[in-house]
Structure 1
Amino acid sequence: MTDINIKRLNASQRDFDSALAKLLAWDDSVDHQVNESVRHILREVKTRGDAAVLEFTEKFDRLKVDGVAELEMDQGRLQKALDAIPQDQRIALEKAADRIRDYHERQNQPSWQYEDEDGTVLGQKVTPLDRAGLYVPGGKAAYPSSVLMNAIPAKVAGVSEVVMVVPTPDGVVNDMVLAAAAIAGVDRVFTVGGAQAVGALAYGTETIPAVDKIVGPGNIFVATAKREVFGTVGIDMIAGPSEILVICDGQTDPDWIAMDLFSQAEHDEQAQSILISPDAAFLDAVQASVNKLLPTMERSEIIAESMGSRAALIEVADLSEAAAVSNRIAPEHLELSVENPEALVEEIRHAGAIFMGRFTAEALGDYCAGPNHVLPTSGTARFSSPLGVYDFQKRSSIIGFSAAGADRMGRVASVLARGEGLTAHARSAEYRIND
């Protein structure tokens, strides 16, 4: 296999800002044909319900059934899958689920309220969504870990019903995915995929119930469909390619770092792996490790394309400059492979998940560390957060004025409302004022 020459950048070069911007650029524009196709599918599902779902399932997944009810898998089938998978897989799923559940239970915030000096009660009522929809990829791309990461926070939040959709092309079912659904407490499972599944969850059909929010990864058709139905339902995010950024002081085994970079590059050709270090010789060592280890990888062609086109080795003056460059990138996954990660993390402002120290491989976060692996990509960590319990809850403000409070604050509201020319607002408040 031909050696990969990973792009090298130096933060001191005059054109570094423009070179970094070029490196990070990713075209997320949706192909016009994909857009039109998705809109057609959504329109058909919205207007024709089950009939459209059946037609598209036969067309795209080569699965023909008489009714959508035949595409639902009951709890007995999920339990059968859990019993059928190898014992080591079951133990691993259950251990991961326990850690994910324990972590997310700590995110659960109760409703709260307080009373001010004149007896007025103010607060916030936190309530879960009634129903959440979980999209899970099927076929070759089967991710039981995604089931755990999406369904468990929903159940911890108190969502009454979690409805999972998963395509089964040619009728091929992945038992590990169904087993994960059983462990995570998924309530209903339909073997439907693609934009038609997103449409069914958003609008509801005769058989598939409409949900309040749709979460979970999918291909370009699924992502486009989620974007289209946003507003009718909530969505988690529109995710771009996977990313990893490693900051290293040059003291970690270069083979470890090379494999950490591979762990994201193997996702797909558009994934991005970046290493930042003040040690130029270490960057050379990691480059050598990449070329040494690449032929041993099962997905070597995908890794080679990703690393050759989107990866970078960036030299900086010191770790503080490394943190500044990282904040500019706002990566999905950030490894601080340094002697004192606790000090460096104080300088990090934007990252989806931060992996502390040499022994904390990003891969642990993908499966079983506990925090969610659904993370903001493409720089969106500047303003968004990992998927969590809070994504499956909503908040209502509580306002209860006493007579004294209505008198006192009614006078304030009256002035402001009349200032805005809204007389009914003013008079409504003034009725409660004691002259």
Structure 2
Amino acid sequence: MKLADHYTRTGIYITLSVLTAGAVIYFFAINFIAQQQLDRSLQQQLTEAEDYIHTSDQDPQRYDLDRDHAVFVKIGQQNLQKRFFDTTYYNPRERQIEPGRAVEDLVKVKSGNYKVLITISRESQRYFIGVIITITLTLLAGLLFILFITNKYMLNGLWKPFQLTLKEIKEFNIAEANQFKGERSKVDEFTELNEAIREMSLRVTHDYLSMKEFTENASHEMMTPLAVVTTKLDTLIQDETLSAEQLAQITDIYSSINKSSRLNQSLLLLSKLENKAITDKEPIDLQVVLREKLLQFQELLLSKDLSLSSDIKPSHIFASKYLIDILLNNLVSNAIRHNTMGGKIVIALDGDLLSIKNTGADLALNEQLIFDRFQKGKESQGTGLGLTLVKNICQHYGYGIEYKFDYPWHAFSVRL
């Protein structure tokens, strides 16, 4: 959920809670005030009735208090606690029972003591409270609606600099010359954020360029002595005066030097892939490239007596031919190198799916580790970076790659 939505939801929840609590308190306060008003009216009418009875010789039971109910009952009690209470009221005009409010008290006259009960209608009070509740709820609904609209739409402009900053961060490429600029904002926090990101991007770019320069220089400096050693070894191997033991040792050294050279090139390529330094692309007919690659491995196939079956259909992609060549080279060479004598290889290319299967070890490889650096079998003569390069190339172009084992087949599938 976006930050603006969190802010809107939190604001609405808090506002709704506060307003609901306020509305409840407001309701009871209004209800209390209205009841007090009714009690004062009852008290006034009770006082008027008592004054009338004390100044008149008429029977109290004949007292008429307008349209309200006044009942006098002669009693023998000398004391009666005055009280106000809720009751019902019969409306003679509407001919219906309504909620009412009553007062009860003792009136003493010459003819005896009377209990007076005066009842008035609460209908006007209920109508008054109902109107207040309706107005309050309408105001609450209007306030919540305005709050939602304000947070949802009117405050979008406030978050626009942040959204532009986020977009620029996503598009930031450490290998490009364009640095992070940041969108100007009137909000101090966004300005500070842009300044911090700008400084960080400058440091990261500087570190990247320094590391890139070091890697390229180190690779170049390593390749030069390796090339010299390889040339010297080529010359020594051709020396006919060497004994068999000396020739075997020189051959081992030659193999180690070649492995070091391949390892150096692979690490350099991985560094370029991880930093997205390879950007060249061109249309590639994968069917043609794959057939050419299989022709290059014919001698290795024959040396291990491997049978190859292929179903290669037309497929066109847009990528670096250099990287695709490395990807195919590693997948096919792995299928040959880790196969058994007299084993089988099945290669299929159908649209956007490339599948390479080979027979091999009876146990499945560890799917969690096979694409990590320097993960290889004990008897492997490779650098341990082949499948790592494959995975990084796939990630570079957004391809999907997976490994499956279905005895006796080890299968690698690339979803182009």
Q: Which bin holds the TM-score, normalised by the shorter protein?
A: under 0.3
Greater relative contact order, per chain length (Cα 8 Å cut-off, separation 6+):
1
When the two structures are superposed, what TM-score results if normalisation uses the length of structure 2?
Answer: 0.20
Structure holding more helix per residue: 2
When the two structures are superposed, what TM-score results if normalisation uses the length of structure 1?
Answer: 0.19
